[in-house]
Structure 1
Amino acid sequence: MIITRNSFPFPFCTLLLALSAPLLARELEPLTDSGELYFAEEEKKKSEKEQGEDDRPGFVMRSLQQMEIQRDWLSKGYVGMWRGLDGYFSDGATFENENDSEMRLETKQTWRAEGEIESDVRLRVRVDLPNTEKKLKLFFSSDEESNVEERVRSVSTGERIERDKSVSGLEFSPDDKDRKWRRKFSGGVRLRSSLVPYVKFQLKREWGEEDSDNWFHLFRQKVEYFDDDGWGTSTEFSSTHPVGDVFIFSFWLEADYEDQFNFFEYANVYTMTQVVSERSAVHYRIGAIGASQPVPRVNGVFYGLSWQYQLYEDWIFLGISPEVFYPRELNWSAEPSITAKLEIFFAE
């Protein structure tokens, strides 16, 4: 995610930072057994009584704590359900300690300069059955049909969790991380009125180490076939490199082709990420999108930024993304917007 210059005012972002300040304060509270910082239980009770309700968590914190209780209960039940199914099919084999089953809910809302408001709701589900069959996963996604522009830009598209746009199936990864070229096979159905079968093959290669001071490159090639739309392919290449202690530079290229439309869509994005703290980062980006028909050309350029903040623990993330888009179809007139995104993770 990223953040850029924009014609939008930033007091809104400042307000969000102010609201999240109490969350940071809880991490700075010293807890030691030293004589200077330790208080006897009676002294603590007396102090609490004198201060009354002033030291109680604020409304936002209390709400998040209640949400965490419900989230932990749901996550435990969700992962436990698939862990039990894994044990059933593996005849009681010894469970692996880790289960990567995960459910992610994403909501996004975009405000445009002309007054339009659009919102998205997306759901992704991944089921891990490590003992049933090594590296075999069930998955569900509500946004499989997104195109290159939707994946590159941060704005909402009015998407909802609809059955006819969702896909579900099995994913198998036979190769471990030490293999240079890693393969992934998947197959399943698109959940329309009549189930539409599909298959997908992915090939992935990495060069370098992600956490090193050198360049890290990633290449990914996907080929898929849907029974109603025909076949399509996607080629992706990205490179990242640290710049100093708090910045990371990256560029990303992608080209998609669908046989039913008979043309390529492509994108090129450059990003500079600034690590603000352990809980937040700002991504500054500039990019272009285009197509091969009617002639190879650029159909739009954009610049923007995204501020990403770990709102609570490791399962609620907030993002704010101002952006300015210049589409060819509007004679390169500026289209400013600002998007807010909330992601909630349910995992073990």
Structure 2
Amino acid sequence: MRDTTEWLAREVDSWFGDRPFEDGGRVSGSVRLKASWRRGDNVDGGVRLRARVQLPNLKERAYLFFGQDNESDLVTDRQEAFTRERQLLDESRRRDTTGFAGVGYALRERLDLRAGVRSAYKPYIQLRYRQRWAISPRDAVSFRETLFWTSSDGAGSNTSFDYEHAYSPVLLFAWQNSVVITRRDDGAAWSSSLGAFRVFGDQRRLSLELLASGNTSSASVSEYGVRGAWAQPLYRDWVIGELIVGHFWPREHDAVERSRHWAVGGNIELLF
């Protein structure tokens, strides 16, 4: 996969000049095979692909990206903690997943502009801003803002605010928050996670999170739950396996009782 990606990168980079690819060119990405099940849904499986390529002839600020992912998560630039995959929700391959490709350019140190297409012909644009402040040797606050536009849904935004506390070199507590506004929704879709993350060396990590999500158009929380995950290398340092177990209490709207669902998922990720 890496060889194929690098070959493609060299071909595209040669369109823009004679600077050798070794002079600043970089290739990175992953292929993830995933499967999940939530009570009441079918077993869901799929493939996720993400690749990023630095092109020397487009200067160091430009890069190409391509892959396959959930269309809504891709366009809104949703944090990993709140993606449908991490929430162990069923995804229709035809309706939810899409191939994508595009080009990005770093306008400034923390600001970049991305333009791409998904589903082979649907364009989208993202303007992304990232900032992180260290408020103490153990505490940090992060802010992310993504403004996006699609040909079908118009303009929208994703605002994220995170707080992290490093209790020790191997134990981290994090509070993550996201608010997504789109033309499709009457209100703003919000998500929040409070979690503990423990690393054990050699890419082994354990996490436990409390989750909640909803929409400002409704007075109640649409879903809350708990999610635990364990990840470790399966082969050297570039094949990573992960097991995710969750218990969720969703409710479609205020007029119905809240249900409760167990869910389990797993994935194997190949880094390149």
Partner of residue 138, structure 1 = 64
Q: What secondary structure, in the 3-state scheme, does the structure 2 residue paired with 1:263 have? A: coil
CA distance in 1, matches of 2:232, 2:33: 15
Q: Residues 222-261 of structure 1 correspond to what in structure 2 (within 5 A)?
A: 222-261=146-185
State the shift of 1:286 in Å.
Answer: 0.5
Partner of residue 101, structure 2 = 168
Q: What secondary structure, in the 3-state scheme, does the structure 1 residue paired with 2:56 have? A: coil
Change (3 A) 1:198 1:124: same
Does residue 75 (structure 1) correspond to residue 2 (structure 2)? The answer is: yes
Partner of residue 102, structure 1 = 28
Q: What secondary structure, in the 3-state scheme, does the structure 1 residue paired with 2:5 have? A: helix
Partner of residue 240, structure 2 = 317
- Conserved? CA contact 2:138–2:167, under 8 Å: no
Using structure 1 for the length normalisation, give the TM-score.
Answer: 0.68
CA distance in 1, matches of 2:20, 2:46: 41
State the AA in 1 paired with 2:5.
Answer: Y
Quick one: which of 107, 111, 115 aligns to 1:187? 115
Change (3 A) 1:79 1:156: farther
Partner of residue 257, structure 2 = 331
Q: Which has the higher helix share?
A: 1
- Relative contact order higher in (CA < 8 Å, ≥ 6 apart): 1
Does residue 128 (structure 1) correspond to residue 51 (structure 2)? The answer is: no
State the AA in 2 paired with 1:207.
Answer: W
- Conserved? CA contact 1:183–1:201, under 8 Å: yes
- Conserved? CA contact 1:247–1:272, under 8 Å: yes
State the shift of 1:88 in Å.
Answer: 5.3
CA distance in 2, matches of 1:153, 1:103: 19
Q: Residues 1-348 of structure 1 correspond to what in structure 2 (within 5 A)?
A: 74-83=1-10, 85-87=12-14, 89-92=16-19, 95-96=22-23, 99-113=25-39, 116-143=42-69, 144-146=71-73, 150-151=83-84, 153-160=86-93, 165-176=98-109, 182-192=110-120, 195-208=121-134, 213-293=137-217, 295-329=218-252, 331-346=257-272
State the shift of 1:198 in Å.
Answer: 2.2
State the AA in 1 paired with 2:199.
Answer: V
State the AA in 1 paired with 2:107.
Answer: P
State the shift of 1:120 in Å.
Answer: 2.6
CA distance in 1, matches of 2:220, 2:93: 31
CA distance in 2, matches of 1:311, 1:305: 19
**Structure 2 gaps, min length 5:** none
- Conserved? CA contact 1:163–1:191, under 8 Å: no
Paired positions, count: 262
State the shift of 1:224 in Å.
Answer: 0.8
Tell me the alpha carbon deviations over residues 114-161 of structure 1, each in whole angstroms, 9 at most, x when there is no partner. 584222322223222134222211112322323765358441523538
CA distance in 2, matches of 1:142, 1:343: 14
Using structure 2 for the length normalisation, give the TM-score.
Answer: 0.85
Change (3 A) 1:261 1:340: same
- Conserved? CA contact 1:125–1:139, under 8 Å: yes
State the shift of 1:287 in Å.
Answer: 1.1
CA distance in 1, matches of 2:234, 2:128: 33
Q: CA RMSD in A?
A: 2.7
Partner of residue 4, structure 1 = none
- Conserved? CA contact 1:186–1:199, under 8 Å: yes
Which structure would you say has the larger Rg? 1
Q: What secondary structure, in the 3-state scheme, does the structure 2 residue paired with 1:90 have? A: coil
